[in-house]
Amino acid sequence: MNLHAVYHRQKSNYAYAYGKDCLHIRLRTAKDDCTRVNIVIGQKHRWEEKESRPMKKIASDHLFDYYQYEVYEKILRLGYYFELSDGEEDYIYSESGFTKTYDDENAYFHYFQFPYLNEADILKVPSWVRETVFYEIFVERFCNGDKENNTKELTPWTEAPGPHSFYGGDLKGILEKIDYLSELGINGIYLTPIFTSPSNHKYDTVDYREIDPMFGDKETLCELVKKAHEKGIRIILDGVFNHSSWYFPPFLDVVKKGEASKYKDWFYINSYPVKKYREEEVNDYSRPLNLSGLNYHVFATSPNMPKLNTENKELRKYLLDSVAYWMKETRIDGWRLDVSDEVSHDFWKEFRKVVKEINPEALIIGENWHNAYPWLRGDEFDGVMNYPFTKTAIQFFTTGEKSAKDLAADLSEYFMWNYEQADAAMLNLLESHDTMGFLRWCGEDERKFRMALLLLFSYPGMPCLYYGSEIGLTGDGDPDCRRTFDWNEKNWNQELLLFCKNLISLRKSKKTLACGDLRITAGEDLFYLERRHLNERIITILNNTKKEVHYAIPEGGTVLLTTGELKNEHIIPAFCGVMMEVK
Q: CATH number for the domain including 382?
A: 3.20.20.80
Residue 380 known to be catalytic: no
Residue 280 known to be catalytic: no
The answer to whether residue 284 is domain-embedded is no
In this structure, the answer to whether residues 501 and 409 fall within a common structural domain is yes
| Gap between the terminal Cα atoms of the chain | 38
Please identify which of the residues 65, 83, 170, 367 carries the catalytic annotation. Answer: 367
Domain boundary among 444, 475, 509: 509
pLDDT tens readout for residues 260-277:
999 999 999 999 999 999
Domain boundary among 456, 489, 509: 509
DSSP 200: S
In this structure, the answer to whether residues 413 and 349 fall within a common structural domain is yes
In this structure, the answer to whether residues 546 and 570 fall within a common structural domain is yes
In sequence order, the 6+-apart residues with CB closer than 8 A to the CB of 351 are 241, 320, 323, 337, 364, 380
In this structure, the answer to whether residues 195 and 144 fall within a common structural domain is yes
In this structure, the answer to whether residues 234 and 250 fall within a common structural domain is no
The answer to whether residue 536 is domain-embedded is yes
The whole-number pLDDT of residue 151 equals 87
In this structure, the answer to whether residues 142 and 197 fall within a common structural domain is yes
In this structure, the answer to whether residues 229 and 267 fall within a common structural domain is no
In this structure, the answer to whether residues 304 and 321 fall within a common structural domain is no
The answer to whether residue 127 is domain-embedded is no
In this structure, the answer to whether residues 68 and 88 fall within a common structural domain is yes
Please give the Cα distance from 497 to 286 (Å, whole number): 37
The structure's pTM equals 0.97
| Residues 208/238, Cβ–Cβ less than 8 Å | no
In this structure, the answer to whether residues 248 and 329 fall within a common structural domain is no
Domain hosting 461: range is: 132-241+316-509
Please give the Cα distance from 297 to 429 (Å, whole number): 30
The answer to whether residue 125 is domain-embedded is no
In this structure, the answer to whether residues 224 and 104 fall within a common structural domain is no
The answer to whether residue 93 is domain-embedded is yes
Please identify which of the residues 83, 204, 338, 431 carries the catalytic annotation. Answer: 338
Low-confidence ranges of the chain (pLDDT < 70): none
Q: What is the dihedral of CA 231, 233, 236, 237, to 10 degrees?
A: -40
Q: State residue 424 phi and psi, 5-degree precision.
A: -70, -25
H/E stretch holding 347: helix 345-358
The answer to whether residue 286 is domain-embedded is no
Quick one: which of 49, 59, 75 has its CA closest to 14? 59
In sequence order, the 6+-apart residues with CB closer than 8 A to the CB of 218 are 211, 329, 330
In this structure, the answer to whether residues 424 and 572 fall within a common structural domain is no
Burial class (CB in 10 A: 0-12, 13-18, 19+), 11: middle
The answer to whether residue 184 is domain-embedded is yes
The answer to whether residue 393 is domain-embedded is yes
Output the domain CATH number for residue 25.
2.60.40.10
Domain boundary among 120, 150, 173: 120
Number of domains forming the structure of the chain = 4
Output the domain CATH number for residue 264.
3.90.400.10
Output the domain CATH number for residue 530.
2.60.40.1180
The whole-number pLDDT of residue 555 equals 81
